[in-house]
Structure 1
């Protein structure tokens, strides 16, 4: 069942409920009005007749109304006078047997009865309710005729209006199918002029398309860069192996092993970056950043010692807590240390502290620093400065750091130190 038909049926159902409620209300109102008219007529007749009977009884003339009195009364009303034992003393017309005096107003055997006491006798003013019931029946019959016609009109009109309202949605649907078939993610869906729900849907889809286009562009650039970066060490490895095969030179074989290690390191970086950007939910848990930094630094100290570098730590006296996934954040810290170790010949300092309710970690080195124009680019994938090229860097370490930190809702930065060297770090929200 289409959305158009479902909305039309829902609209028709609402109209049916409204008509039913209106019909019940009108029926109740008409019934009340008709009965009120009958009751008022009976009361007025009783008011006019009662003094006449009281006078006739007082004068001892019997129980009878004159022709003039009867002519002035509503002909639909019947007047009956019974003695206390129920014997009929006077009646303008015959009434069904079994109708008895009651308190004021009552309905008996299809008659409306108004009872009054006249010097111990019972004065009954009655009217048949046949005309009232006929009027109600005619009204209900009219409602039954109008109801299906109104429902049919509401269904047709609702179907037409819903169809017109869904025209923009149909256009959006056709445009989306055409876009998917063409595979042109640079195109956008037309946004309706009216800022309604359909406009919000189109805007949301266009936002998604923009993100998809950006992602595809990043993947395209990543593939191109990865192909280029992998081609270089593979070419070097092949050349060294060919020379070693020709000469049997052990130095060439050792150089080939080194080239294969560089290639393996690049592949590992690619896998780590892919894992970070996979979008898989992080297993966040309370984590003392200073303790994790100490653990990673101690595991990297052998690497620093082997290069003759001095690794210093500046950690707080009390733990600083953040919400993080230990493995991912440890990976980011390790890459910061690896990056610093490549570009310095002196010392590296790892600092953890608190500033403006954020826990920060920064790695400082005493190397040549970063070109000012490159401070905003060092976190891009495969970005390499001339120094990085000389150090055989992959250009993926800081990109991985940025990916991890942003997945944790943090921020990264790179700056040059006034006393020389660079400082690269990140900050996360502090938790208690």
Structure 2
């Protein structure tokens, strides 16, 4: 089996796993390794396909606007030129954000950061402070003393993405961040979630109909799920009983 893998690059090779002796144990271990490699290869292939699709839209828009500027620069009014330049700036920022998020998903830098005790209240406060500066929104935090064994930067990114998501897609109103018994919950007071969207919100590149007219890559919440999965936790999304959306995650406390 090892020779077939080496010669062909195939990972779907049948490996004999019969027997309880060392040969059987080795076969089962090798079979498990091949299955993990096959899953990883499939995920990487899917990421490349998805990325090529998502990159095409902003790149096409950039090329179109640049072409208009080159061909009609002298014919455009100052106002039209300014609008085109503003569009180019916005599209460039969107493309940069998309590339950065793709790199984060593709490179999986979890191993670069050691596991350590993390106080989730500190994570939530830092995410809220950044959102206040970035969006000018009122973000309040209520937190207990939950401590988890985790990677601080990853947990901060996951929490930040949840808070940023609430700020972007709830146009007004208070953003509430709560930390209780290892659960980080971010609640907005916007229109809430469409029921059909809820099962897919944490899928890579998923964007609901309401979100497609807004800037974004559809990767922010999938990064949340990736981080939380790596910590042995789970994500959730629901409509709050009295309006607005609640998204968050739960990680085992220490």
Q: What is the TM-score with the length of structure 1 in the denominator?
A: 0.53
How many residues are matched? 246
1:271-308 deviation digits (Å, cap 9, x = unpaired):
23234x24525322222211221122112102231xxx
Alignment of 1:108-123 (within 5 A): none
Shift of 1:230: 1.0
The yes-or-no answer on 1:328 pairing with 2:154 is yes
Distance 2:240 2:147 in 1: 27
Q: Deviations over 1:219-251 (max 9, x none)?
A: 111001111111110110111111122333221
Q: Is 1:380–2:203 an aligned residue pair?
A: yes
* 1:338 counterpart residue number: 164
Match of 1:253 among 85, 103, 108: 85
Note if contact 2:166-2:188 (Cα within 8 Å) is conserved in structure 1. yes
Q: Which residue of 2 aligns with 1:212?
A: 37
Matches within 5 A, 1:226-265: 226-248=51-73, 249-265=81-97
* 1:71-108 deviation per Cα after TM superposition (whole angstroms, max 9, x unaligned): xxxxxxxxxxxxxxxxxxxxxxxxxxxxxxxxxxxxxx
Tell me what 1:180 maps to. Answer: 6
From the superposition, tell whether residues 199 and 374 of structure 1 become closer, same or farther in structure 2 (CA, over 3 Å).
farther
Q: Separation in 1 of the partners of 2:165 and 2:14?
A: 41
Query: How far 1:394 sits from its partner (Å)?
Result: 0.7
List runs of 5+ in structure 1 lacking aligned partners: 1-174
Distance 1:228 1:397 in 2: 17
Asked if the contact 1:188/1:209 (under 8 Å) is kept, the reply is: no
* Structure 1 residues 184 and 334: CA distance shift in structure 2, 3 A: same
What corresponds to 1:351 in structure 2? 178
Q: Which is greater in Rg?
A: 1
Distance 1:374 1:204, change over 3 A: farther
Alpha-carbon spacing, 1:211–1:279, altered in 2? closer, same or farther (3 Å): farther
Paired with 2:243 and 2:2, the residues of 1 have a C-alpha distance of: 55
Q: Is 2:250 the partner of 1:430?
A: no
Partners in 1 of 2:26 and 2:196 — Cα distance?
40
Separation in 1, partners of 2:194, 2:186: 17
Deviations 1:106-159 (A, max 9, x none): xxxxxxxxxxxxxxxxxxxxxxxxxxxxxxxxxxxxxxxxxxxxxxxxxxxxxx
Name the residue aligned to 1:296: 127
Q: 1:293 to 1:201 in 2, by over 3 A?
A: same
2: CA distance, partners of 1:338 / 1:315: 18
Q: Aligned partners of 1:389, 1:188: CA distance in 2, in Å?
A: 44
Q: Determine the C-alpha separation between the residues in 2 that align with 1:224 and 1:232.
A: 14
The answer to whether structure 1 residue 394 and structure 2 residue 202 are counterparts is: no
- Runs of 5+ consecutive residues of structure 2 not aligned to the other structure: 74-80
1:342-368 per-position Cα deviation (integer Å, ceiling 9, x unaligned): 2212332111112xxxx1111112334
In structure 1, the partner of 2:104 is: 272
| SS at 2:177 equivalent | strand
Q: Which residue of 2 aligns with 1:287?
A: 118
Deviations 1:309-333 (A, max 9, x none): 43232233xx322222222211111
Distance (whole Å) between structure 2 residues aligned to residue 218 and residue 212 of structure 1: 10
Post-superposition offset of 1:406: 2.1
Contact 1:304 1:311 in 2 (8 A): no
Deviation at 1:218, TM superposition (A): 0.9
TM-score scaled by length of structure 2: 0.88
Higher relative contact order (CA 8 A, sep 6+): 2
**Aligned-residue offset at 1:373:** 4.0
Per-residue CA deviation, residues 190-240 of structure 1 (Å, 9 max, x unaligned), is: 332x34332222222222212211111111110011111111101101111
